[in-house]
Amino acid sequence: MQILLSGANGFLGDLVKGSLASSERIVTVGRKNADIVADFSTEVPSIRQKYDLVIHAAGKAHSVPKTTSEKQAFFDVNVTGTKNLLKGIQKAPQLPRYFVFISSVSVYGLDKGILIKEDATLLAQDPYGKSKIEAEKTVQDWCQKNDVICTVLRLPLIAGPNPPGNLGAMIRGISRGYYFNIGKGEARKSIVLAEDVAKIIPQVAKIGGTYNLTDRYHPSFFELSENIAKQLNHSQPASIPMLIAKIMAGIGNMLGSKAPINSRKLTKIVSELTFDDSKAVEAFGWNPTPVLQGFKIR
């Protein structure tokens, strides 16, 4: 297939490009180091040929906005950027047959929950989650209007070499000796290998639909930190008793947003948050590698 890939310089996009490059022809589009250079937040890319599949993996994530302009940046990139990409595709000689949008479980807006399904209400109130909800709707409406098969992949924490975001911070913390589990680290969180997501895209693109993707095991913080520590040849991170963590969170409440922990952050850390991907299993035989078996930090 002829594939147009946005976000090829990002963590997931780079793995998608590497996974598909040997069997498919991929053209990249993005702000820099791309075949088609354009800043989606302000420009409509010049797309002059037909593509069978568009994979939209570009987006803004992995930051906590502190100002109005920083909050707006999520909508500029994730919403306006998506609209501009679609405008560019609209000018091609022929529209694609398939469109895959990389979204996030952040759209659910939940700090806790067990095996949340795709039909759950989208409750996100943070700029990232809200911008992803709006971008999903934009893509789905455009695909329906233009008879393009649309796939939305809602991803949890993504594991792979040198990951960004919370997982990258966890690895750095364990490496430098300042990461601690809270209590027994029993809270389970959904996670998925980036490589598994990359490999499944050409198959799921032809089916369409909205899917959660996880590793189907949902490791605990203890298991994940133990796995990382072993890869780094470090001892298992120590644990902070829950009582001490609550005292620290209370102090953090008084210190404000700059505190490393507060009551809300503590609640998120110790609460189970997992997502149900049985719909993907039924639709296209999703059979991922458990992260504790396949995760390589470098």
User: Is 177 strand, coil or helix?
Assistant: coil
Ranges of beta strands (E only) in 15-148 are: 25-30, 36-37, 53-56, 98-104, 113-116
Are 261 and 252 in contact by the 8 Å Cβ rule? The answer is: yes
| Cβ–Cβ < 8 Å for 193, 160 | yes
Strand, coil or helix: what is 54? Answer: strand
**What pLDDT is stored for residue 163 in this prediction?**
94
Could you identify the residue written with the tokens 């990359």?
198
Burial of 99 (0-12, 13-18, 19+ CB in 10 A): buried
* Global pTM value: 0.95
CA distance 158 to 136: 19
Q: At what angle do helices 263-270 and 242-255 cross, to 10 degrees?
A: 140
Residue 35 contacts residue 76 (beta carbons within 8 Å): no
Q: How far is residue 135 CA from its own chain's centroid?
A: 14
- pLDDT tens digits along 39-87: 999 999 999 999 999 999 999 998 888 899 999 999 999 999 999 999 9
Question: pLDDT of the chain along its 298 residues, tens only?
Answer: 899 999 999 999 999 999 888 778 999 999 999 999 999 999 999 999 999 999 999 999 988 888 999 999 999 999 999 999 999 999 999 999 999 999 999 999 999 999 999 999 999 999 999 999 999 999 999 999 999 999 999 999 999 999 998 899 999 999 999 899 998 999 999 999 999 999 999 999 999 999 999 999 999 999 999 999 999 999 999 999 999 999 999 999 988 767 778 898 899 889 999 999 999 999 999 999 999 999 999 8
> Residues 195, 155: contact at Cβ < 8 Å?
no
Catalogue all structural domains in the chain, each as residue range(s) with its CATH number. Answer: 2-158+193-214+276-288 (3.40.50.720)
CA angle 68, 120, 199 (to 5 degrees): 85
pLDDT of residue 6: 97
Specify whether the CB–CB gap between 7 and 58 falls below 8 A.
yes
> What pLDDT sits at residue 256?
78
Q: Are 274 and 115 in contact (CB under 8 A)?
A: yes
Structure confidence at residue 260 (pLDDT): 77
Smallest CA-to-CA distance from 126 within 77, 76, 61 is with 61
The rounded mean pLDDT for the chain is: 94
Q: Would you state the pLDDT for residue 294?
A: 96
Between CA 149 and CA 129 the distance in angstroms is: 24
